[in-house]
Amino acid sequence: MADVSLRKVVKRYDDVEAVRGIDLDIADHEFIVLVGPSGCGKSTTLRMIAGLEDISDGDIMIGGDIVNDVPPKDRDIAMVFQNYALYPHMTVAENMSFGLRLKHYPKAEIKARVTEAARLLDITDLIDRKPKQLSGGQRQRVAMGRAIVRNPKVFLFDEPLSNLDAKLRVQMRIEIKKVHQKVRTTTVYVTHDQVEAMTLADRVVVMNKGKIEQIGTPNELYHKPATRFVAGFIGSPAMNFIPCRLEDVGGTLQIRLTDRLAFPLPPARAARYNALPRTDKLLLGLRPEHLTEWHAHLAPGVETFDTVLDVTEPMGMETLVYFGLEGTPVCGRVDPNAGAKDGAPMRLAMDLNNMHLLNEETGVVL
């Protein structure tokens, strides 16, 4: 068990910078998820921690030691690969014990560890099978078992669930979480799926274009995104961004969305945004769940407006409605019984208590 630290880590391929100076401190026992779109450098970062890629600049520390130049086998890490990378000619038990056998552990201890890991992952019955005879989920478990028996300082997961179908993915997600609760090993987990990131992580690291956009707990990222990228990446359907500007009308601060649509800001928000220049081009960031059907007795700060829906998507427990505000597509979530219909007019409510205001040019959440 150990903490992991990255200090200004850079990875260059010829003249392309895949990772551009990353600082990250991972505490002992922590479950960290690196998330971001493909090509954001998250896998490269993981592979640098593993020692599969050399680092171009900076330092990586595991348990306080700089491991920049330590070969993977001496870093005391274990890795689970996207395609599982099980040795096809070995049985499950042999796959799991390969690393231990190379290190000449006593036979009895190897057996004990494999049995324990198999029991933990519920694959005791499969121990003598070859990977070919296993289903995707079972292979995934074996790959995790191979990591667990090593009893490493750090677990590294490289998109381990992306080869599974949707249903199994949910199941294995829970499984991984359970395993982590039992073994408590420091874990770095890479995924492009923000749902996976949110559900698994103690802290999520959102990466984009080789840099860290934001580090935080799932709730922090969801409710207090730092940048437009994070705000748009976390949450599904994604946050709406509506061009707007601030104006003063009779002593109150108003947010103007279109020529006909402007709302007074709730007092808390007004105080926060009052110092902003009124000329700035801004974006109103609003999650779909804060755009609901209108009803009587709305709370303060919730404003209503009328619009015509373009498309509706009934999801069962809710209905997603899509409409345009001066050409900007906007998505809202309404009650399935609210009577939303394609092409029909509808009165909606906008919860400005949960709004975000972003600078359109810098993408910074204000």
Partner 1 sequence: MADAVVRQPGVARPASARKRASLHNALRRKSTVAFLMTLPLILLITLLVVYPAFYSLHLATLNKSMQKFVGFGNFEFLFRRDTFWLVVKQSCIFAITAVVFKALIGFVVAHFVHNIPAKGQRKWRGMLLVPWVIPPAMSTLAWLWLFDPSYSAFNYTLAFFGIGPIPWTGDAAWARFAVILVNVWYGAPFFMIMYLAALKSVPDQLYEAAAIDGANWWQRIWYVTLPMMRNIIAITTLFSLIVTFANFDIVRILTAGGPLDHTHIFATWAFRVGIEGSDIPLGASVSLFMVPILAVAAIFILRDVNKRGNEA
Partner 2 sequence: MSTMTIDKAGPRRNVKYGSMSRDRAWALRWSYFFLVLFAIFSLTPPLYMLITSLKSSAEISAATNPWWVFHPTLDNYAELLTSNQFLRFFWNSAWVSIIVVTLTMLISVPAAFALARMKFWGSATLATGVFLTYLVPDSLLFIPLFKMFALIGDWTGVQLINRWYVLLFIYPTLTVPFCTWIMIGYFASIPKELDEAAIIDGASWFQTLTRIFIPVALPGLIAATIFAFTVSWAQFLYPLVFTTSTDQLVLPVGIITTLIKGDVFNWGQIMTGALLGAAPPLIIYAFLMDYYIAGLTAGATKG
Say if strands 356-359 and 282-286 run parallel, antiparallel, or are unpaired.
Answer: antiparallel
Our finding on whether 78 is near partner 2 (CB under 8 A) is yes
In the complex with partner 1, the residue whose CB is nearer, 69 or 259, is 69
Among residues 230, 226, 203, the alpha carbon closest in space to that of 216 is found at: 203
- Residue 161 near residue 140 (C-beta atoms within 8 A): yes
Our finding on whether 10 is near partner 1 (CB under 8 A) is no
Of 68, 82, 91, 354, the one binding partner 2 by CB under 8 A: 82
In the complex with partner 1, the residue whose CB is nearer, 65 or 165, is 65
- Residue 28 near residue 185 (C-beta atoms within 8 A): no
Of 14, 15, 69, 102, the one binding partner 2 by CB under 8 A: 102
- Least distance to partner 1, CB of residue 13, Å: 17
Contact pattern for partner 1 over residues 41 through 80, marking x by CB under 8 A: ------------------------xxxxxxx---------
Q: Which does 72 bind (CB under 5 to 8 A by kind): partner 2, partner 1, none?
A: partner 2
Q: Which does 77 bind (CB under 5 to 8 A by kind): partner 2, partner 1, none?
A: partner 2
State which of positions 31-70 bind partner 2 (CB under 8 A).
Answer: 50-52
Of 89, 184, 281, 295, the one binding partner 2 by CB under 8 A: 89
Q: Which does 359 bind (CB under 5 to 8 A by kind): partner 1, partner 2, none?
A: none
- Least distance to partner 2, CB of residue 107, Å: 17
